[in-house]
Amino acid sequence: MRKLRGGRIASKIRDDLFVIVVIVIVATSVVVTVAVIAKWIDSRIPFRTIDKGQISYIGIYDLDYKGEFRVIKDQNTWRDFWLNHTRGITPQPDVPTNISWDKEMVLVAIMEVRMYCCGHQITFISAYRNGDTIHAHLEKIHDMSPFPSLTCPFHIIAIEKAENVTFEVVTG
């Protein structure tokens, strides 16, 4: 092995030190990333679909209706919403009663009125909790269908109660 002299020794030490620092930074980043992902996975919360379909009567007769998100936390608000949401169906379906209002709430996503049926949809895909906030992730899909008719897609879920809710939409 050859002996390094003077500046070459300092240069070699500096190069080795740089490599060590880079390795430490990358390793730390990986550990932090894994911890963040693990925390996110642990904070995901389950939900169940109450209703999903192509026509919510909330906005179907208003061509300027832009869609909406709702958070419903009590039985009376739920009943009023449901009766309005299903008002065009005969016979009108009963108000779902499988919600434990002391532990759960209802989240509603309704898309804007669309002129072509059956290719459009909105879907809750995941939810996670961060403190007192639930972040609900949704996907909107806009596909054209050859069948001209009005549609107002919706998805309604029951989920554990939280003080705050954010709706985060991805367009597919």
d(CA 105, CA 98): 11
The predicted pLDDT at position 118 comes to 62
The pLDDT-based confidence of 39 (bands split at 50, 70, 90) is low
Kindly list the domain boundaries of the chain, sorted by start residue.
Answer: 1-43, 47-171
The predicted pLDDT at position 145 comes to 63
The pLDDT-based confidence of 121 (bands split at 50, 70, 90) is confident
